[in-house]
Chains A and B, each alone.
Chain A
Amino acid sequence: MRRLTALLVPLVLSLGIVGGVGAAHRAAPVSTLTFCTDPTFPPMELTRSSGAIFGFDVDMANAIAKQWGISAKAVKTAFPGLIPALKAKKCETVISGIFVTPDRLKQAGAVTYMHSHRVLLVKGGNPKQIKGPNDLKGRNVAVQAGTKYEEYLKALKAKIGFNLASYPGDTDAVAQILIGRADVVLTQDTSAAYQIGKHPGKLLIAYLFRQQDSFGIYYRKSDGQLGSGLRSAVASLKKNGTMAKLAAKYKLPAADVK
């Protein structure tokens, strides 16, 4: 009997430990949460002068990974290559301030975690009197290549006519206003708010698009388990206030992450 107890006790104990871990961290669908990201979209993701990637998305990825008891790792990728990199298994997910759109949903699954608006960013004081998309006529417009912004601007350019320049990063496009080459940049309110904070008085939001865009975490359609894991992880981060805290940290409206 004693021998049996001696044998059983560690077994039960170990079961208890495993059970305890399982309760605290729901079984992780991956061993490391790798995410492809283009760190040129502050404050969602940007690069420190040391080269380290940080931002809202990075913190969120870490929070999700922490829930699962694993670690998160960013894989730096140029924006147009994000979804292809996911499909080529360079990463398990894409977390990069990327919109959830019908054509991207054909390529991969997505979990929405934030809503925001597009804006027209101009030079402080709005010298060219930009009040809406129609005022872009004949102006110099800069944008990040491979984005939905570029797609929209190309269609608009065909209609009203203006000079459109596409750059590898969102920060490169915004830099064109600061340099004095571009009159307008189409970007997200998140990026605009950050840049205005960094360059007070030099930039201004001239127009806020009414249409709402959703940022999403993309995963491979074949990884259904990871998708549902991400969905519940994001839901619980919203519920326990982590998302609101991160929004506050990066000076984003709390309503965006509700």
Chain B
Amino acid sequence: MVASFDTHLFWEALTSDPYWKGALLALGLATVSLATAVVIGFLLALGRGSRLRTVRGLVFFYNWLFRATPTLLQLIFVWYALPQVWPVFAGNWFTPFEAAFVTLSLNEAAYMSEIIRAGLLSVDPGQELAGRALGMTRRQILRRVIVPQAIRIVIPPTGNEFITLLKLTSLASVISLHELLTASQELAAVGFRYPESYLAALVYYLGIVSVLMVLQDRLERRYTWSSARRRRVAAPAVPVVAHDAR
């Protein structure tokens, strides 16, 4: 049944304008959403360790709300339900892109806050004490001691989140955002050529994620210090031992 695959149509789809624009839109949406989510997530992570009980409670409530409900439901809620409560959201200024951006940012922030919290917790509390002993302020300790070390811990799971977020942008097709999945659905609906139309979209997603993985690797190396690099060299020895033991 290989004969029923139209290679020409596949290439045409792969190089077509709607696919290219859809892919850029998906990547753009994922990028700005993740950037916003990191900022909000960082504040949430700090709030989680706050001395004030109300702040801790609010952060807990936020994370609970956004992690316990499906992203698709959140998108549909923002697009369909919000304008019925506040007609302002029916205005032209509130585009599908903005709706998707707001939803995905808020949603992702809940996950990012947990990741960042883990990163902050990974730095030994003794370092904070040492910083204080050197006369640094809380803010200085955070900026110069804790955050630079936490970043190393945070990068791999954040790369994970970026990939997830990129794929989540396809959900925005239900709120009429013209992203990559919509482009492939449209092509499929016109010509009824499903294998070619969807395989082209698949190739795009694979391509984007591959680039993201390379970028993540670069970023990880950038935040690796000499001591860590030594550990990295020593690392292969561990699986070998484990393998022998088995």
Tell yes or no: A167 within 8 A of B by CB: yes
Tell yes or no: A156 within 8 A of B by CB: no
Whole-angstrom distance between the alpha carbons of A131 and B84 in the complex? 27
Whole-angstrom distance between the alpha carbons of A84 and B80 in the complex? 29
Tell yes or no: A146 within 8 A of B by CB: yes
Whole-angstrom distance between the alpha carbons of A180 and B80 in the complex? 10
| Residues A80 and B189 in contact, CB atoms below 8 Å apart | yes
| Residues A146 and B83 in contact, CB atoms below 8 Å apart | no
| Residues B192 and A84 in contact, CB atoms below 8 Å apart | yes
In the complex, the chain B residue whose C-beta lies closest to that of A84 is: B194
In the complex, the chain B residue whose C-beta lies closest to that of A104 is: B192
Whole-angstrom distance between the alpha carbons of A186 and B83 in the complex? 21
| Residues B92 and A140 in contact, CB atoms below 8 Å apart | yes
Tell yes or no: A165 within 8 A of B by CB: yes
| Residues B83 and A180 in contact, CB atoms below 8 Å apart | yes
| Residues B186 and A145 in contact, CB atoms below 8 Å apart | yes
A residues less than 8 Å from B192 (CB atoms): 83-84, 87, 107
Tell yes or no: B63 within 8 A of A by CB: no
Tell yes or no: A166 within 8 A of B by CB: yes
In the complex, the chain B residue whose C-beta lies closest to that of A173 is: B176
CB of A53 to closest CB in B, whole Å: 20
Whole-angstrom distance between the alpha carbons of A142 and B83 in the complex? 16
In B149-175, the 8 Å CB interface with A consists of 173-174
B residues less than 8 Å from A80 (CB atoms): 185, 188-189
A residues less than 8 Å from B84 (CB atoms): 179
A-B contact pairs, 29 of them (CB 8 A): A80-B189, A83-B192, A84-B188, A107-B192, A142-B176, A145-B182, A145-B186, A145-B189, A146-B185, A146-B186, A146-B189, A150-B186, A151-B190, A163-B92, A165-B96, A165-B176, A166-B176, A166-B178, A167-B174, A167-B176, A168-B173, A168-B174, A172-B80, A175-B80, A179-B80, A179-B83, A179-B90, A180-B90, A181-B83
Whole-angstrom distance between the alpha carbons of A151 and B189 in the complex? 10
A residues less than 8 Å from B83 (CB atoms): 179-181
CB of A178 to closest CB in B, whole Å: 8
Interface majority SS (helix, strand, loop, mixed), chain B: helix
Residue of B84, B92, B182, B185 with most partner-chain A CB within 10 A: B185
A residues less than 8 Å from B80 (CB atoms): 172, 175, 179
Residue of B92, B174, B189 with most partner-chain A CB within 10 A: B189
How many A residues face the partner with a CB closer than 8 A? Answer: 21
> 1/0 contact trace for A157-177 toward B, CB 8 Å?
000000101111000100100
B residues less than 8 Å from A107 (CB atoms): 192
Tell yes or no: B87 within 8 A of A by CB: yes
B residues less than 8 Å from A175 (CB atoms): 80
A residues less than 8 Å from B173 (CB atoms): 168
B residues less than 8 Å from A87 (CB atoms): 192
Whole-angstrom distance between the alpha carbons of A87 and B1 in the complex? 14
| Residues A145 and B96 in contact, CB atoms below 8 Å apart | no
| Residues A181 and B90 in contact, CB atoms below 8 Å apart | yes
In the complex, the chain B residue whose C-beta lies closest to that of A151 is: B190
